[in-house]
Amino acid sequence: MVQCQGIAHFSIPVSDLEKSTKFYADVVGLQPINSDGKRYSFMDAGGTCILLCAEDAPINREGGKDLVHHAFTISEEDLAKAKAHLEAAGAEILFEEDRQGGTVNGPRIYFRDPDGTRLEFIKMTSYDTTPR
């Protein structure tokens, strides 16, 4: 059996690479690394590589399934400021919750990127890897 050692990167489709690169840098807080300006932008999320990939629109106009999303860990201090930060940026805020007793626990806020992709900011309080 092959044993996974971690995540090298994950990709998010976007319809406007320049607009989305700016959103993920200014709103989500990712660090731009490398971009060809047309097809892709590599960005760093605290040591995890995120690849924004230019695709034809619409990407996610129906908002996608509720379970499908990308979660980014942030500090407790930043989580307290996240709603105002997202509102100021014009991001669509979906809801907030403090989920406990599951696999990935902690307070969180869900929102959408410019293409409607569901994103999450979470102050992760625990990660329970106990098989169930």
* Best CATH choice for the domain 63-132 from the list 3.10.180.10, 3.20.20.70, 3.10.20.30, 3.30.565.10: 3.10.180.10
Structure-token match 């890897």, residue found: 129
Q: Are 72 and 108 in contact (CB under 8 A)?
A: no
Whole-number Å distance between alpha carbons of 95 and 120: 10
Task: Pinpoint the alpha helices (H) of the chain.
Answer: 17-26, 76-89
Whole-number Å distance between alpha carbons of 82 and 103: 23
Amino acid present at 17: L
pLDDT of residue 62: 64
Q: Over pLDDT 90: what percentage of the chain?
A: 77
Which is the catalytic residue, given 55, 92, 96, 120? 120
CATH code given to domain 7-56: 3.10.180.10
Whole-number Å distance between alpha carbons of 39 and 46: 23
Whole-number Å distance between alpha carbons of 58 and 15: 7
Q: Are 83 and 20 in contact (CB under 8 A)?
A: no
Map out the domains of the chain as residue ranges.
7-56, 63-132
pLDDT of residue 5: 81
Per-residue pLDDT tens digits for 68-102: 889 999 999 999 999 999 999 999 999 999 999 99
Q: How confident is the model at residue 66 (pLDDT cuts 50, 70, 90)?
A: low
Q: Is 92 a catalytic residue?
A: no
Whole-number Å distance between alpha carbons of 129 and 122: 18
